[in-house]
Amino acid sequence: MSYPLSWALIPIEGFDACPLGRGRDWVRNSLGVPESVFRRAPDGPLVEDYQELGVQVSYDASDRTSLVEVALPATPTMQGVMLLGRLAADVYSELRAIGIDVVEDDAGALVPGWGAGLFVAAGRVEAVSVGR
């Protein structure tokens, strides 16, 4: 895309640049044509991969967005807190300081009130997902 997209996370709704429940045409009008389309499992949902944006979008049986995963170069935020590429402990602390519940797990953390997951590698937040 030739313009910056906002990746602010909206509780339960998804990212403002790609909300949950939107049709494939809406997503493609917003994000462009994906670089690739694949299935994680033979009978799994289609996933559109927007590599240049750092975004993967999965669809449900009715062809609506059901899971959106973002990684760098996307710049997702929660209430203004930048998420990616930062120390997970710092991100968790900042989110908790503004009243957002963060539940740490083996993969990183869940943010239940937002329908989001933070994936951590080497102590840093590497990806953010939101889904239904």
11: how many CB neighbours lie within 10 A of its CB?
14
pTM: 0.92
Classify 67 as helix, strand or coil: strand
User: For residue range 37-84, what is the model confidence (pLDDT) as tens digits?
Assistant: 999 899 888 899 999 999 999 999 899 999 999 999 999 999 999 999
How many whole angstroms separate alpha carbon 85 and alpha carbon 74?
A: 11
Instruction: List the structure tokens of 124.
Output: 């840093």
Nearest to residue 13, comparing CAs of 92, 116, 108? 116
Q: Is 101 left (phi over 0), alpha (psi -120 to 50) or beta?
A: beta
Domain ranges of the chain: 9-71, 82-131
Looking up tokens 């990746």, which residue turns up?
Answer: 7
Confidence of residue 4 (pLDDT cuts 50, 70, 90): low
CA angle 95/86/92 to nearest 5° reads 25
